[in-house]
Chains A and B, each alone.
Chain A
Amino acid sequence: MLTSLWGCENDYLDVNVDPNNPAAEVGTPELIFPSAVASTAVRVGGEYAVLGGMWSQHWTQSNAANQYKSVDQYNVTSSSYNGSFSEMFSGALNDYTFVINKAEEDENWIFYMMGTVMKAYNYQVMVDLYDQLPYDEAFQGDANLTPAYEGGQAIYAKLIASIDNALTKDFSAGTNTVPGKKDFLFEGDVTKWKQFANTLKLKMYLRMINAAPAEAEAGVTALFANGIGFLGQDAAMTQFEDAPDKSNPFYEYNFRQLNVATNLRASNTLMSFLKSNSDTRLDAIYTEGSEGQFALYQGQFNASSTAIDPDKPSVARQSAIEPVRFISAAESYFMQAEAIARYGVAGDAKAMYDAGVTAAFGQFAFDSQFDEYELDATPYIEAGGKYEFPAAGSLEEKVEAIITQKWVSCVGSHSLESFFEQNRTGYPKVSAVSGDDDSYVPGQFTYSLEGVTGGLFPKRLVFPDIEINRNPNTPAKVALTENVWWAK
């Protein structure tokens, strides 16, 4: 050793290869894809789901705690949601990009498509939240540390094109590897991935009905004709167990990790709807308070403890093993129902609607704790039932019925979707009167009692500080209450 030291040979100093972490070069799609999916799930089904659930008026902040006050009063600023933004880009999207690039190199087309579809899904969520984002210049690492922004509509077009391109690949080529359990969604079932791709495109085309109606109609029509079909099951991550850092991210975030697990209480908006329809899902969605099922009005968190005993309002109910549904079966059916009703494409809108409501009632089957409830949709959708499809009604009546049922079906880790859909369709409607007014229609949105936005509902997120501070290309701040490009 001494001689080599005297000789100043570099071998002696060659000890800088990290023994703790493998070199980036050994990464494969099989290795990276599962953690990218987990990154998407942990945020879309976690912190964003809390946001979505409050802004969809499933829940409101407890009057005995503080955690989500700023969300419930629409006081969300650039200092909020930095962590989620970062995890979605550097955790999920960058890893999908790696999977896509590596899979393309290896002609590993199944992973190529899986990566492409998940990336498109993830992007769709982020674009719907932020309206403008980097796309072409993103994920270049050193080559571009300050990517330029593009409009949401342009990104939508690119996402659809990327899916179309991925669908043309040869999934039976010998260069494909078998995803198996590494595919948390479908265990590598190519047909289901194609249906997921088709359903995702359906969602994006339906989003465009206000901003680009012709394109939306043409796109939807083509999807119904391409023979791929749509999801008949959840596209979801289900690999959760009731253990720290292994469970449903919404459960982990709101229940396990907070010292007060009762921040989220029933909002009168959803509870009044469920109660007025004697909906049996009520007890599966909320844990009873000290005097049975009881809701706070949206944003009623300043009610004093003498006015409302903090133990009285029902608490949001959640299971540690609830799947994170990226697109649920119910959502797929509701979208098909809407497409049929809207454009007259082949199919039966009522049948699809009924399938959607049935799937929505069936969403609790994953956990035996919900077995005790009578969760059968049949009495609700049959003739004369509370949720009977208005087959003879106007298009707007049909759409209202569909979107309202979708709104209820999204409670939990999927709630961001109902927030988006309310912005797109205006359903559930916004109430003209306050929640305690005699003429209040159960299920209609009421402005947060502590809202700070002058009566305007939130429509998007503002760009986060971590992006504003580090990327000079970040567009100027747009108010929280401004519509995104596709909103109604």
Chain B
Amino acid sequence: MKKLIGLFVFLLFVGSQIVTAQSKQITGTVTSADDGLGMPGVSVVVKGTTIGASTDIDGKYSLEANASDVLVYSFVGMVPQEITVGDQTVINIVMETESIGMDEVIVTAIGVTRSQKSLGYAATSVNNEDLTKAAPVSALGGIQGKVAGVNISSASGSPGASTKVILRGYSSITGSNQPLYVVDGTPVDNRAVGEIGATRSTDFGNNANDINPANIESVTILKGASATALYGSRAANGVVMITTKSGKAGKLKVNYSGSFDISTPLRLPELQNDFGQGWSGHYASNENGSWGPKMDGSIRPWGNVVDNQQLLKPFAAQEDNLKDFYDLGTSLNQSVSISGGTDKATYFLSYNNVDADGIVPTDADSYKRNAINFKGSTTFNKFKASTSMNYVRKNAKAVATGQGSSTGATLFQEIIQTPRDMSIVDMEDYNNKFYNVDNFYTPYAQNPYFVLNENGNDFTSDRIYGNIALDYEFNNELSATARVGTDVTNSYLKDWQAIGRPKAGSPNYSRTPDVGGVLEESRHSREINTDLIVKYKKDLNEDFNLNALAGWNVTQSNYRRQSSSVEELTIPNFYSLSNSPNPATTSTYYQKKRLYGVYAQADLAFRNYLFFTLVARNDWSSTLPSDNNSFFYPGASLGLILTDAIESLKSNTITFAKVRGSWGKTGNDADPYNIFNTLVAGNADGGFGDLVFPLKGVSGFEIANQLGNSALEPEITTEWEFGIDARFFDSRVGIDFAYYSKETDGQILPVDIASTSGFTSKVVNFGKVENKGIELQVSLVPVRTNDFTWDVNWTFSNNRNKVLELPDGLDEYSIYSAYGIEFNAIVGQPIGVFKGHAPLRDPDGNIVVSADTGIPLEGEKEVYGNAESDFQMGLTNNFKYKNWNLGFSFDYRQGGLMYSYTARLNYFVGNATKTTYNDRNPFIVPGSVIKNGDGSYSENTTAVGKQRINEYWNQTNNKMMSREHVLDKTYVKMRDLTLSYNFTEDMLKKTPFSQLSLTAYGRNLFIWTPKENNFIDPEGSTFGNDLRSEFGEFAGGPSVRSFGLSLKAAF
């Protein structure tokens, strides 16, 4: 876009070259530091005069100047340069992108390009270079830590795992908090595929991960309501606007980028290494925990006696048994593109291939992506037609997390239950008679290698997304655009678990057999988005410029899911729905949603320093009651460039200063089918296992437990923000500050109601949630010389979330709960309060224990804290010396809590470090009391006996242990480290390359967490990528660190 504008400027300047008699002829070429190519349209002006020239299509220029003249080279978005002519006659210039420049052009809602300085709201862009520096497979990974107010985390270290992006906090308690992703003007689907929850969950990533970072020109993040209102109801949580690369006029260009990296576990649980296999303080050869005696290194037989043989091993800690289990992950990511065009037509064609295999041995965690992208445009008179089309095919396998079920176990849960004296890798041969299903050392857990090799899944998806647009320019002032976009995905999942049935009479016969199972699932989603936009721009007079648009939008989305499964297999290793004595369970789900809207925006600029924007949209949605389905939301913003309005303010100290303020609303409709009461197919919920109709040929339906609501209204978010944008000391210090406050009213959500009313939930509009926060971005250029530049970028944000109101009679709303931990919305507190068990306390606050066992008694549940971080920071440093570039960034998140089942299970099996408290000798709970028969309390003298120490640490027996499972999720991560070398044009002269750079990079190289969390990487979650993900993890896999090399070349 920069270059198009440049071309326009070039045309203006063509006629204005002035030749002066005394001067000499200066010639030269202006090239871009980005790609080494000549830059057309760069203005070259003799300072203090109107004499100048503009570069031609190859970046060449010539003009006449005196030796004493100073030439000023400028181009929108690039660092201007001043050169004294002296005795030079050839002056070649390399222009650098202006990283903190204010003339940067930014793409705003509906594809309107505006200069950054004119905006009345916060909008941050990340360009391709920053995005792809550490060669992430997902574009979202490249933004991590670089934009204030954006919370980005990966669900796990598995390749292709979903990425969570939350802008300015959570607004919706049960609805979506996902931003809207817009690619080249058309919203795309960001559905996540997989199962989330506590039982057997899989994560095949979210659709926004499909976008190839190498193809992205820039990502702009629009956070506030006034910035996003034009996109309608789905943009209520912000917009991530992605502009992909286009072909440019000029000769054919071929670009290649490739990266290869290896990964290893970043964070594994740190475990105790003192006590070995056993339970209740005794050695027991069939236990899945480390509650046995102290390990003494003596050689002991272990496991079961098979054929009168038994294995021997030292009773000593296997300190690295977890680490040894994992192997190296690899990831190869390659993109090649061909682009070019003429001034009438452009094209850009690219192919991307990703082939990744995670750290779990075998290809059980692998991800393959093949994508083709075409973008082209052609101009004919006043018409311009353009298209952007993408095809993505993914093949993935994911390791199931969470708990196992009757059909089969899950990997990480089995690994955790390994006594500290046992090697995991030694059991790799799961057909070996000592390690097989019948004779594996314990009946309480499964050989992880059996789970890994015999259970698995295959996921494939085919997706096409893109748009076709037609522009017509009536005249210089009026133009129109029609754009039709679509996003169609078909995916298929097959998931299977093997039969694991210990033979009658074998040592593990008491274990409930894994009966095996198969699931097949097809999903189809389709979205069509049509926009018709009329744009008008006019310079009203010398002072006022108007830019206006009006549009009409219609959106339809369809979704279909068909799923069939069988539980219990007849023939081993044959995975078909036919292979079961039980009938297949099938389910289908269809969804259709339609919406249309009209919108308008007017930008009024006064003398190029005062900018006022009005925006409004009205939507009609199919998901609201038909007599009340229309909703309207307006917005306004104001930007004032102080340094232009009051010229005396501007100096070398204060280069630029802008204040901005905005106010706006966004509306959000309901999910489909929440208006009417329904019947649902008969399924009597038994807790563990159900009674599912039909039963013996009788079908049954029941009254749905959720009450519909025929008076639903859309939820409306009102937001205002205020910001300052300033540059100091020749733009070497920049500050961008924003304060925002938003309130989401009339939340649509199913509220739990007393089941004695006959129903368990009701969809209502209720309550308010508030998010307030600050976002600060500070950029510094501590050193800038010809050869050396040091850039620092620091982002800080904090968000304060607060639930202001809940429905009548409720002061608490449960979002999720598991294993005694509740995750609630409570009035006056941030969404996501953790509440859990606590010990009984006497009036003085002492813990009351059982006089018989010495173990604390259960008291009322108490609030532990909430999931919200106190703040988060990102720090990026970049050093550039000649052709070398060294960069690294840190990400720091402070505070907030999360649940960890990994912690829970490690306490249960006695592997957690804290369980060696008092060297596992009997102890009296400090400061504990017992309750006497008369209601009084007296000092406790009952110690927790040796055989009960495992009970003390087991939450089932000692409820207060729940507190140990909720961890502080503070962390500091070294997000990336990159070292790159750019070959100069001179060096490449004799090669076919026009540009070549090599980068060595590392991602997530190190993590620091507080002492209490020595279990997991707190960034991970097994609960999807929305609010529920803040609950935490359920036997998730480890996160990873990666090291790699990447190469970028142009021909």
Contact = CB atoms under 8 A, between A and B. Distances in A.
Contact of A90 (B592, B690, B760): B760
Interface stretch (B37-45, B114-122, B454-462, B691-699): B691-699
A98 to B, nearest CB: 6
A91 B689 contact: no
A395 interface: no
From A46, A241, A247, residue with most partner B Cβ within 10 Å: A46
A474 B858 CA distance: 21
A84 B684 CA distance: 11
Interface stretch (A29-37, A266-274, A373-381): A29-37
Interface in B741-783: 752-760, 762
Interface in A91-124: 91, 93-95, 97-98
Given A257-B689, A261-B512, A18 B676 contact: yes
| Max chain A C-beta neighbours (<10 A), residue from B512, B589, B621 | B512
Nearest to B951: A302
Interface string B623-652: 100100100000000000000000000000
A249 B675 contact: no
Nearest to B622: A13
A46 B686 contact: yes
A21 B282 CA distance: 55
B799 to A, nearest CB: 27
A311 interface: yes
A13 B406 contact: no
A257 B406 contact: yes
A12 B530 CA distance: 15
B585 interface: yes
Given A138-B757, A253-B687, A470-B754, A20 B590 contact: yes
A199 to B, nearest CB: 24
A243 B700 contact: no
B687 A38 contact: no
Interface residues of A, number: 99
Interface residues of B, number: 96
Most buried by B among A23, A91, A97, A244: A244
Contacts of B512: 255-256, 258-261
A258 B406 CA distance: 7
Contacts of A306: 282, 284
B973 interface: no
A23 B708 CA distance: 11
Interface stretch (A140-148, A165-173, A222-230, A360-368): A140-148
Contact of B622 (A16, A145, A260): A16
Interface stretch (B806-814, B988-996, B1009-1017): B806-814
B752 A466 contact: yes
B282 A86 contact: no
Contacts of B948: 302
A66 interface: yes
B3 interface: no
Interface in B564-609: 567-568, 581-583, 585, 588-590, 592-596
Given A86-B760, A90-B705, A38 B691 contact: yes
Contacts of B858: 75, 77
A94 B685 contact: no
Interface string B849-873: 0101100011001000000000000
Contact of A83 (B685, B705, B857, B956): B685
A23 B703 contact: no
A22 B677 CA distance: 9
Nearest to B621: A13
B701 interface: yes
B575 to A, nearest CB: 17
Given A93-B758, A146-B757, A147-B757, A245 B700 contact: no
B754 A98 contact: no
A451 to B, nearest CB: 8
Interface in A1-59: 5, 8, 10, 12-24, 26-27, 31-32, 34-36, 38-39, 41-43, 46-47
Interface string B691-724: 1110111111111110100000000000000000
A246 interface: yes
A257 B688 contact: yes
Contacts of A46: 686-687, 689
A43 B686 contact: yes
B679 interface: yes
Interface string B65-107: 0000000000000000000000000000000000000000000
B703 A32 contact: yes
Given A32-B703, A77-B858, A246-B692, A91 B684 contact: yes
A139 to B, nearest CB: 4
Contacts of A16: 622-623, 626, 672-673, 675-676
A66 B620 CA distance: 55
Contacts of B692: 245-246
Nearest to A84: B687
B704 A24 contact: yes
Contacts of A83: 685, 687
Interface in B537-574: 554, 567-568
Interface in B359-410: 404-406, 409
B959 to A, nearest CB: 8
A139 B282 CA distance: 54
Nearest to A18: B673
B676 A17 contact: yes
A141 B758 contact: yes
A20 B706 CA distance: 14
A91 B947 contact: no
B700 A34 contact: yes
Contacts of B814: 469
A247 B688 CA distance: 12
A39 B684 contact: yes
A35 B676 contact: no
A469 B331 CA distance: 49
A98 B762 CA distance: 18
Most buried by A among B703, B853, B858: B703
B582 A41 contact: no
Nearest to A140: B757
A435 to B, nearest CB: 17
Contacts of A21: 673, 678-681, 704
A471 interface: yes
B170 interface: no
A35 B682 CA distance: 5
A139 B693 CA distance: 24
B754 A147 contact: yes
A440 interface: no
Contacts of A259: 404, 406, 409, 511-512
The 9 closest A-B pairs by CB, nearest first: A35-B682, A252-B689, A35-B700, A94-B758, A471-B754, A257-B688, A139-B758, A24-B677, A21-B678
Given A139-B758, A145-B753, A245-B691, 9 more contacts: A17-B676, A32-B679, A34-B693, A39-B691, A70-B956, A89-B758, A141-B758, A243-B582, A253-B688
Interface of B: 279-280, 282, 284, 287, 404-406, 409, 443-444, 510-512, 554, 567-568, 581-583, 585, 588-590, 592-596, 620-623, 626, 629, 672-673, 675-693, 695-705, 707, 752-760, 762, 809-810, 812, 814, 820, 850, 852-853, 857-858, 861, 933, 947-948, 951, 954, 956-957
Interface of A: 5, 8, 10, 12-24, 26-27, 31-32, 34-36, 38-39, 41-43, 46-47, 66, 69-70, 75, 77, 79, 83-87, 89-91, 93-95, 97-98, 133-134, 138-142, 144-147, 181-182, 184, 239-241, 243-247, 249, 252-262, 302, 304-306, 310-311, 450, 452, 454, 466-467, 469-472, 474
29 contacts: A13-B626, A14-B622, A15-B594, A16-B623, A17-B673, A19-B590, A32-B701, A46-B689, A77-B858, A83-B685, A87-B685, A89-B755, A90-B758, A91-B684, A93-B758, A141-B707, A141-B757, A141-B758, A146-B809, A181-B698, A182-B698, A243-B581, A244-B568, A246-B582, A256-B689, A260-B443, A305-B287, A471-B756, A474-B754
